[in-house]
Structure 1
């Protein structure tokens, strides 16, 4: 089995988010780009619980061109592959789940800042979260990218339910180096379509 293809010093970094500006700048210095998306899915505890179930069953990763086996167990140490259709035929991208956190009845979880690829962030508001369900995974050898990604469902103090994606990555293969603009575009496309899939599933 492959090992992680990015530095140990950055392992589990998304679990400790929000990143400080110093850490964000360190990531950028090491060649990583930070990607962040946060969209409101609905409101209320029932919507939050539904969002958690969708995330737990990989509902956010059932796209026509990128998918994960929905039977993959959501547990620490579980290895899985993202099956993606790129410029070449279907490619398997190996990852490993680093953590699964279910924060309940908490009044101290802060929402993440707004990040940009330059690594600078600013907290959009000071409203704290009531609950949050999050998991993060790291890339393994054989993945076209190196880095980490976190998916979250959050319930804030105004009972709004949010779907959030936070990641940092850099090319780990010559194809990724050659096609960096394409890779960035696909990451943005994934965030948009994953959010659309979650919104659609929430309304069903």
Structure 2
């Protein structure tokens, strides 16, 4: 079942989508796969043999603890979906088990795609070096795709801050 709306989806329409979405639309053996380090995912031939494509993007956004904390807060408030043509309700908490919708404008109708947060991780290194915040969400029945997506922000040992997006 695909969920469509002719105007920007209301909170009630998103709730209806979530209520009707059911369970994950991909195998449980892949649940949490994006929690692994990106280097492990790139070496994992099992994912590609099962038909999953790995899409990995990374860009330097700045340096220092303040930049890292701002980036983390932006992820927790869904700012990466703050677009005219796509959004997630910014009040949606980033906690394992929370179901939410990504709403995207596709030509005329809006597509409402249900997901569930699979994991949330934060690893803090000594003096904040090698620190990473990440969460992954999995697609539910009614989503146009099948798999997981991870969003993360990382500060390396040189205090360089990069957001990382991985899709499987």
- Indicate the residue corresponding to 1:152 in structure 2: 152
* CA deviation vs aligned residue, 1:52-96 (integer Å, no higher than 9, x gap): 111111111111111100000111100000001124510100000
* Whole-angstrom distance in 2 between the partners of 1:14 and 1:160: 22
The RMSD of aligned alpha carbons is 1.6
* TM, length-normalised to structure 2: 0.82
* TM, length-normalised to structure 1: 0.68
Does 2:65 align with 1:56?
A: no
Residue correspondences, number? 146
Question: 1:50 offset after TM fit, Å?
Answer: 0.7
- Indicate the residue corresponding to 2:110 in structure 1: 90
- Indicate the residue corresponding to 1:69 in structure 2: 89
Q: Cα gap change, 1:14/1:44 in structure 2, threshold over 3 Å: closer, same or farther?
A: same
Secondary structure of the residue aligned to 1:141 is coil
Greater relative contact order, per chain length (Cα 8 Å cut-off, separation 6+): 2
Question: 1:32 offset after TM fit, Å?
Answer: 1.5
Question: 1:133 offset after TM fit, Å?
Answer: 0.5
Q: Cα gap change, 1:40/1:22 in structure 2, threshold over 3 Å: closer, same or farther?
A: closer
* Whole-angstrom distance in 2 between the partners of 1:76 and 1:21: 24
Question: 1:106 offset after TM fit, Å?
Answer: 5.2
* CA deviation vs aligned residue, 1:150-203 (integer Å, no higher than 9, x gap): 0001000110000100011xxxxxxxxxxxxxxxxxxxxxxxxxxxxxxxxxxx
Secondary structure of the residue aligned to 1:14 is helix
Secondary structure of the residue aligned to 1:134 is strand
Moved >4 Å (runs of 4+): none
